[in-house]
Amino acid sequence: MSLDSQLSTLEAATGPFEVVWNPEATGGGQLSVRANGRVLWDSVPGEAFLAAAQGAPDVTESRGFFTIRDDRTTFTTSQTLDAIDLNDTSVVLSGWLDGSMRVAWRMTMQAMDGQQLQMHITVGSEVGEHPRLRLRYACLADERFFGFGEQFTHLDLKGRQLDILSQEPGIGRGVQPLTWVMNTFFGAGGDDTRSNAPVPHYVTSHCRSLCLENHALSRFDLRAAEQVNVEVWSDSVCARIFNGETPAALVEAYTKLSGTMAPLPTWMHQGAIIGMQGGTDKVRQMVEKLSAADAPIAALWLQDWVGARKTSVGSQLWWNWELDPIRYPGWDELRDELATDGVRLMSYVNPFLVDVSEREQGCQRNLFAEAQEKGYLVCHADGTPYLVQNTSFSAAMVDLTHPEGRAWLKDVLREQVLGVGVSGWMADFGEALPFDARLHDGSDAANYHNEYPEAWAQLNREVIAEAGMEGEVAFFARSGFTRSPGQCTLFWLGDQLTSWRAEDGIRSAVTGLLSSGFSGFSQNHSDIGGYTTTAIPGFPLKIPFMDHRRSRELLWRWIELNAFTAVFRTHEGNQPGRNYQIDGDAETLAHFARFARVFAALGGLRERLGQEAAEQGLPVVRHPWMVFPEDPNTVSLAWQFTLGDALMVAPVLDPGADRVTMYLPAGQWCHLWSDAEIDASAGGWYEVEAPLGTPAVFFRKGNADGEALVAALDAKQDRATVSTKPMIRAANSPR
């Protein structure tokens, strides 16, 4: 992959950025982008930084999972840089790509502002159908790569290859033999880099950052020690290079592109959001239990408000988006009764529709039939509705490129969701648009696939805005892409396994929070206790190594974890009867109520962090490196986080553990649950006793938020859980 040029040394400016061509770099000619004396991007000396090929794609969809094959031609093997032209605002480079074809290329670099430089690359039509472009550039051997949207298994993606395609992440994602079984028989096991909400964006440990603006499928190959290869399924690449000397500055720069997230409604900070099902009577019974336990409740999230159906995986919902009056009789009275105590109702929707003509209970409207008649559904090439298999039923997606169809779906949400008086909902799915679908506006479904989650979020946001309820009503989404932060009110991390595993479990929730924070997902959270239970419905015996169910201990530790995140929301899971629940026994209910009070006591801090998210794009839950960038040890941390800049949290993530090893940067640190203090004058590792009910949480001495939390917990007698100070001692790094 050679790079040839007869051009002499050149330095050209666009805004505060310098584009530098150095023909005498060691190893050969090198192109660089610099700012403030720092190299933000540079090509591999002597090697082509651009190549082209023609693809032959074979992409299949199954239940929202995608199998990607591409028998492409060989990439071009050489590149010439023939001209660098300057004008008032941009630098334009051009030349040829040679090898299996000869293709002209053109690159325009232009400063968007002081923090963003846009790199726009196009090639000639000679590349043919299904074009592929590959961008190759340098990195350092010790450079770590963070971000890429929500990543669940690996925080540092260096050494890996990942496809940036919104899809189901998988059940197991490497937990064996579960993943093998799910992949072999159902195509649903996934792998360690799949995500509902991936983003072609990263921040590196050397404070370099890049994002693609393309929606087309891209593949980031980070396996080489000193180079990055990015393949894009397009005949053009539009990228932004960001300028910032700290990770927080780079996140702020990136969110100028992605958009920032608005503060959450105040009521969401006032207590727990209880996810439950079963009808009006069960709701009242749960509220009575929680009230007796002095658990602050912000809302009841009733995903089965539309009614439930039996399927091969247990109980699922009727996707018809109207209230089931038989399951929830007296809905209006229930809503008004709860409102007197400051408790809201929330519901559930997604962009799929099912034909309810087969439902025994009659419905006022058959939304599937309406949309089909009007031509509002995603179709096959022959015009028939494209039915996507879910479990034992299929459903059709609303075509969001259809202006009338989009307006129709907004009317449904406004009239039948907001219209029943809910204060928010889960806006589920959005990842399953097949590559071979036909769309109303003629868009290529392969290119629109990653745009669909953004359009789905934007539709929900418009429903709220047009009703004049921004700041009062919120929805939470799991699918996303680059511009989703500017369109969503809240994210959640999708469906974790009810397990302790790093691949897919409580640890993956921590990784998801930290990784997504680098890509602008400022307001994010997970299901308390996880969602996916893999017990076989109707089968009474447990299958060793295959059967994952939520244990009491796992639930307790997940409760402790989520009390220090953006939202404190429970989920019964896909098989509620096989999972331990928050009212499983009196002690568990008391534990849940106590941490709901901890969460509520942090409401003022989270509201302030919500303003920072809106103004600067900073996440509520932060990787410690964002807060302590000057400490060289924080960049390598993986299993602890900060709540804003106030609290350092190291949740217990292993079964049977009663202590954690965590890192504290230099300073005086106070233990939240006792009067113990640590003088970490130079920063260091500490082993902290953390029995159930006392996760390792510290704040810096004199921090107003930490001291306010202590006062609030003392007022409720929620702080002292042990009769003596916990054991805290210096330790070695766990690695």
Q: Around Cβ 179, how many Cβ atoms within 10 Å?
A: 21
Which residue(s) pair with 548 in the sheet?
none
Helix (H, G, I), strand (E, B) or coil at 371: helix
Rounded to whole angstroms, the Cα distance separating 304 from 323 reads 9
Does the active-site annotation cover 428? yes
Rounded to 5°, angle at Cα 191 from 570 and 150: 50
Does the active-site annotation cover 630? no
Residue 444, both tokens: 């290529």
Of the listed 156, 235, 304, 428, which one is catalytic?
428
Does the active-site annotation cover 399? no
- Looking up tokens 């992409």 gives 59
Residue 697, both tokens: 């949480």
Of the listed 235, 399, 451, 495, which one is catalytic?
495
The answer to whether the CB of 634 falls within 8 A of the CB of 539 is no
Which residues, 6 or more positions from 471, have their beta carbon under 8 angstroms from its beta carbon? 262, 263, 265
The answer to whether the CB of 124 falls within 8 A of the CB of 52 is no
C-alpha distances (whole Å) from 705 to each of 430, 606, 618, 647, 709 are 38, 10, 18, 8, 6
Residue 153, both tokens: 């298994």
Of the listed 150, 431, 451, 689, which one is catalytic?
431
DSSP class per residue in 450-510: THHHHHHHHHHHHHHHHTT-BTTBEEEES---TTGGGT-SEE-----BSSS-SSSSHHHHH
The answer to whether the CB of 11 falls within 8 A of the CB of 88 is no
Which residue(s) pair with 52 in the sheet?
133
The answer to whether the CB of 371 falls within 8 A of the CB of 398 is yes
Residue 625, both tokens: 């490196």
Rounded to whole angstroms, the Cα distance separating 370 from 415 reads 15
The answer to whether the CB of 174 falls within 8 A of the CB of 504 is yes
C-alpha distances (whole Å) from 406 to each of 458, 581, 653, 725 are 11, 38, 43, 59
Give the catalytic positions in this structure.
428, 431, 495
